[in-house]
Structure 1
Amino acid sequence: MPHILIVEDETIIRSALRRLLERNQYEVSEAGSVQEAQERYSIPSFDLIISDLRLPGAPGTELIRLAEGTPVLIMTSYASLRSAVDSMKMGAMDYIAKPFDHDEMLQAVTRILRERQNAPQTPAASQGTAATSQSGEAQSDIGIIGSCSAMQDLFGKIRKVAPTDSTVLIQGESGTGKELVARALHNLSRRAKAPLISVNCAAIPETLIESELFGHEKGAFTGATAGRTGLVEAADGGTLFLDEIGELPLEAQARLLRVLQEGEIRRVGSVQSQKVDVRLIAATHRDLKSLAKTGQFREDLFYRLNVIALKLPPLRERGGDVLEIAKAFLQRQAKRMERGELRFAPDAEKTISQYTWPGNVRELENAIERAVILCDGSVISADLLGIDIELENLEEEEYAPLNQGSGANEPTEDLSLEDYFQHFVLEHQDHMTETELARKLGISRKCLWERRQRLGIPRRKPSGASTATDH
């Protein structure tokens, strides 16, 4: 069982993180400062150290030296995100912004521990990876499982594109592993020893995104009491990965375009520009070309980003890869939870192969983790996966009543389920709340949100009374 040290001076955060890790089968020790950690423990003996950046006495980065090679994950608030990136240059394994999402923290911990364990064999290992595919072909350089023709084609493109400095746009549904592709591109490039800075454009508040990406000068806006470098500048010499770039505000898009065209940035509130050497990789689940046509995304930026486009297929289109990935996840979870050898029952394999996995690889991993936790023996049955194929099919059939008695303007012939869903939502979202849309479609609000994400249909903000009734 991996042993993790938490160094955090805020008791509430430290206790919450400890409970989260212990629930996921990690052994946890804790300290409130670097000095306390030194006095109580042999720091290099841990498998991973998770530390706040700002601590009483010595900063969290001091643990990088004391750890003597043990990986250190730095936690920080958005206000000091710039300093966290600096800590990576000092040797930190990664950083995570507070308040952090539980899944995000667990994914970071899993990935770091796996990379440490597999470093001699597969330095590019990452979430959803395996060293060898069923066909026997080693994938250690890519670090992603995939035997189907679409994935093999993708791997070939990654190997060709990675050594270049060309901008890459990764397209695919949520949960397909777009960040894994970005990491593979970085790890196989000449910039592999420089930082890979990952930014989720949808996770940073719109009012902060320009400052976070491009930095700002003192006094540039209310609260800017000191100048700060941005994440683009932090990635100088390395790779900048912008996930969910379709959520980037138009003003920030204009600044990003300058980075791509001129290779320079200008901080918010500054009149001077400075050169940066950054390789940009962007990812999105949305149709940027369509967004550009409607003015929601800059057309000139789209063409700058779309130099090399890599398409990640959804899990439902990857054939035998689904079961291969599931078995890899099962092996990993069994090892992490010290469960011995586990295997899928025939009905579980059938369910895994038949289910459409709207949440893709992320949903599959969560299902496997849940099944391992609930399993009492050595065989994973279908019911432990928490997937109901019949219910999923029934949910689709619930659209059928809408096809009867629909308005004359609504085409119902020769439309697939997804076509009908898209047509109905776009037709009615201006005057219906999310609750009303879901009720008319015969699905839950959660299902409505997931299908919006999968089909790239942005939610429009309701106005007036509609806003009040939707909450």
Structure 2
Amino acid sequence: MSRILIVEDEAIIRTALRRLLERHDYRVSEAGSVSDALALEPQSFDLVIGDLRLPGEPGTELIAKSAPTPVLIMTSYASMRSAVDALKRGAVDYVAKPFDHDELLETVARVLHQQASRRTQPPDITDEAGTRHQMIGECPAMQAVYTRIRKTAPADVTVLIQGESGTGKELVARALHQQSRRTHAPLICVNCAAIPETLIESELFGHEKGAFTGASAARTGLVEAADGGTLFLDEIGELPLDAQARLLRVLQEGEIRRIGSVETRHVDVRLIAATHRDLRALSKTGEFRLDLYYRLNVMQIDLPPLRDREDDILLIADVLLDKACRRHERSGLRLSRATRQEIRQYPWPGNVRELENALERGVILAEGHLIHPDDLGLIPAPASVTRSPAEPSLRSAEPAPAEPPEDDDDLSLEDYFQHFVLEHQDHMSETELAQKLGISRKCLWERRQRLGIPRKKQARRNVG
């Protein structure tokens, strides 16, 4: 669902636009000035619709300050020269007031489609079984991840992936390997937290026969097995200090020495490490070598937690639900409206892995064709952690002029125009009415004729 920011100081127009866009499944926030819009971080939206004339800074200031988000400028017919200037400054398009509903919606849909086509596509990934996967997500944070993967993969540098458990760190490592020049060489994945501390050095660097009790034969370590390819060390923060020192030598000299051997072996390995811990903080307590941290952190990729990917959550849920339905041969299952709301609001401390498990439970427990919230078996989160259903919109600090009731969803821009004129024509001149509505006096007269709104004599002011 695309997010749109409306920047318009006239509340009657702003509210009309919001309701029109929300009826067509857009998520809309509002601001009354450029400064208010900047407080909402316009870069995080998919589109900004801004009026040309705003209190304080003009609407054209949004163009540069919202980049890379496209800005659609609103202007009156009397200000067409200013609209052309806005296009020269980088506005994606303009719409003239008073605008037609269908024309506005068509322009918005076209701009959003063009923006989506420019986005970095998620990388294709093949797992060990040869099954193809694709990373899911269109939010700005994931777009940054895709861009970093595309730029980093061919560079053959060490990469540190940081993110909470269940955010997909191994998928990123596979994408880096498969888009690198080492794609035809092995990718060796090691979970450092899953290997006992007493065995981890032997597992990583190998050992000679008789090096310790039980070493009945020589063994090649996982670092050596990755020679020519990529070594992925997941949860590297759990690596013991002795193993850290050996790994540092691999990164510095490209050499390993098996346990019990005096002979060094040269290896050509690209290292990708991942962790959910703060390695720099661990280095201050002596749990992680600072020199190793600097060697690892040549290029860093940060994976956002699922709770910060609001626009992606339901998209991911639908894909995971489809897979679960195929595994359990339960075609036709859907998430109820309440379940979709529950999925959006839940904080997902276990991230995508927890979401996948919850949907698996839902598919197994559901009766009928709908999965209900109880079927997911989610543990209620503390109130301080749970996300609010929707972020509050930033409204103009000025009082809104005669804003219609919130429960009237069928009011159109024409309704608001008529309401505004009838409400204010007793104490405003025709020029003032036109300026407030952002149109020319000629357009105001033409619309009065079309809508049958009489012009009251007392609306005129005496000059003298």
Which TM bucket (shorter chain)? 0.5 to 0.7
2:122 alignment partner, one of 116, 124, 139: 139
- In 1, the alpha carbon distance for the partners of 2:250 and 2:237 equals 17
C-alpha distance in 1, partners of 2:116/2:143? 11
Q: Which amino acid aligns with 2:239?
A: L
Name the CA distance, whole Å, in 1 between partners of 2:165 and 2:246.
26
Shift of 1:135: 5.3
Q: Are 1:205 and 2:196 matched, yes or no?
A: yes
SS class of match (2:326): helix
In the alignment, which residue of structure 2 is the partner of 1:191?
182
Match for residue 353 of structure 1?
A: 344
Question: 1:197 Cα shift?
Answer: 0.6
SS in 2 for 1:206: coil
Sequence identity percentage: 68
Work out whether residues 331 and 341 of structure 1, in 8 Å CA contact, stay in contact via their aligned partners in 2: no
Alignment of 1:108-257 (within 5 A): 138-141=121-124, 143-257=134-248
Q: Is the 8 A contact 1:216 1:229 kept in 2?
A: yes
Shift of 1:145: 0.5
Contact 2:205/2:256 (8 A) holds in 1? yes
- Match 2:307 to one of 316, 332, 341: 316
Supply the RMSD in Å over aligned alpha carbons: 1.8
Q: Is the CA contact (8 Å cut-off) linking 2:255 and 2:267 kept in structure 1?
A: yes
* CA-to-aligned-CA distance 1:340-394 (integer Å, 9 cap, x gap): 1222111011000000000111000000010001112221111211125xx3226
Shift of 1:151: 0.4
* Preserved contact between residue 145 and residue 325 of structure 1 (Cα < 8 Å): yes
Structure 1 runs (4+) greater than 4 angstroms displaced: 134-138, 394-397
Structure 2 CA distance, aligned partners of 1:141 and 1:331? 19
Aligned partner of 2:378 in structure 1 is 387
Look up the equivalent residue of 1:210 and give its one-letter code.
Answer: E
TM-score w.r.t. the length of structure 2 is 0.55
**How far, CA to CA, are the matches of 1:321 and 1:241 in structure 2?**
27
CA distance, structure 2, for counterparts of residue 220 and residue 352 of structure 1: 53
- Note if contact 2:335-2:371 (Cα within 8 Å) is conserved in structure 1: yes
CA distance in 2, matches of 1:241, 1:254: 17
Aligned to 1:305: 296
CA–CA separation in structure 1 for the residues paired with 2:368 and 2:180: 44
Contact (CA 8 Å) 1:201, 1:245: kept in 2 or not?
A: yes
The whole-number CA distance in structure 2 between the counterparts of 1:262 and 1:139 is: 34
User: Helix, strand or coil for the counterpart of 2:381?
Assistant: helix
* DSSP-derived class of the 1:393 partner: coil
- 1:285 corresponds, among 276, 301, 306, to 276
How far apart are residue 327 of structure 1 and its match?
0.5
Q: For residues 348 and 135 of structure 1, do their structure 2 counterparts lie closer, same or farther at Cα, with a shift above 3 Å needed?
A: farther
Tell me if structure 2 keeps the 8 A contact 1:159–1:188. yes
Aligned with 1:392: secondary structure? coil
**Would you say how many aligned residue pairs link Structure 1 and Structure 2?**
262
The one-letter amino acid paired with 2:179 is L
User: Given that residues 141 and 188 in structure 1 are in contact (C-alpha distance below 8 angstroms), is that contact kept between their aligned partners in structure 2?
Assistant: no
- Whichever residue aligns with residue 244 of structure 2, its letter is Q
Structure 2 unmatched ranges of 5 or more: 1-114, 126-133, 387-464
Paired with 2:382 and 2:263, the residues of 1 have a C-alpha distance of 59
- What is the aligned partner in structure 2 of residue 26 from structure 1? none
Distance in 1 of aligned mates of 2:333 and 2:265: 55
Q: Within 1, Cα distance between the matches of 2:297 and 2:385?
A: 35
1:270 aligns with 261
Q: CA deviation at 1:139?
A: 2.7
Query: What SS is found at the alignment partner of 1:163?
Result: helix
Which SS does the other structure have where 2:124 is aligned? Answer: coil
Q: Secondary structure at the match of 2:189?
A: strand
- Which residue identity is paired with 1:162? A
Residues 67-112 of structure 1: CA deviation (Å, up to 9, x unaligned): xxxxxxxxxxxxxxxxxxxxxxxxxxxxxxxxxxxxxxxxxxxxxx
Q: 1:228 aligns to what SS in structure 2?
A: coil
